């Protein structure tokens, strides 16, 4: 079972995707209706290296920010697709290690 969210820029045809393939831990949390715990668990799977090409545990916005850091898309394009990014950066820091 895979859930996905895909965002494509209107100008440069870059895609930023979020694909979640639930594992047994996540499914157990879903069964207990512990949705926030499942989300935090999924986020904990992300590499601490923000430029790691492995997008496991990373939402589409982080994928877009990675592409912006690499010069593949502009920050304005990211904000048009996702909204202002400064609030997201605060949320990312609050995720437990």
Report the pLDDT value the prediction gives residue 37, as an integer from 0 to 100: 94
Dump pLDDT digits (tens) for 9-35. 555 556 777 788 889 999 999 999 999
Q: What is residue 84's predicted lDDT score, i.e. its pLDDT?
A: 80
Domains contained in the chain, number: 1
Query: Are 44 and 50 a contacting pair, CB within 8 Å?
Result: no
- The span from the CA of 55 to the CA of 67, in Å, is 12
Predicted local distance difference test score (pLDDT) of residue 97: 41
d(CA 49, CA 65): 13
Tokens encoding 44: 């904990």
Q: Which residues of the chain have pLDDT under 50?
A: 1-5, 90-97
pLDDT at 2: 43
89 token code pair? 């950066």
- HSE, side-chain direction, 13 A CA sphere, residue 42: 23
What is the model's pLDDT at position 59?
86
Give the pLDDT of residue 33. Answer: 94
CB-based contacts of 55, cutoff 8 Å, min separation 6:
17, 18, 19, 62, 63
pLDDT of residue 15: 74
Quote the tokens at residue 66: 């990675």
**pLDDT at position 18:** 78
Q: Which domain holds residue 19?
A: 3-93
How is residue 8 written in tokens? 């494509």
């Amino acid at each position: 079972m895979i859930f996905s969210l895909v965002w494509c820029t209107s100008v440069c045809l870059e895609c930023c995707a979020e694909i979640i393939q639930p594992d047994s831990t996540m499914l157990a949390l879903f069964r207990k209706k512990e949705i926030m715990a499942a989300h935090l668990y999924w986020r904990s799977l992300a590499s601490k290296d923000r430029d790691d090409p492995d997008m496991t545990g990373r939402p589409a916005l982080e994928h877009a920010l990675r592409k912006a850091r690499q010069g593949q898309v502009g920050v304005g394009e990211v904000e048009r697709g996702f909204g202002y990014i400064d609030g997201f950066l605060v949320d990312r820091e609050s995720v437990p290690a």
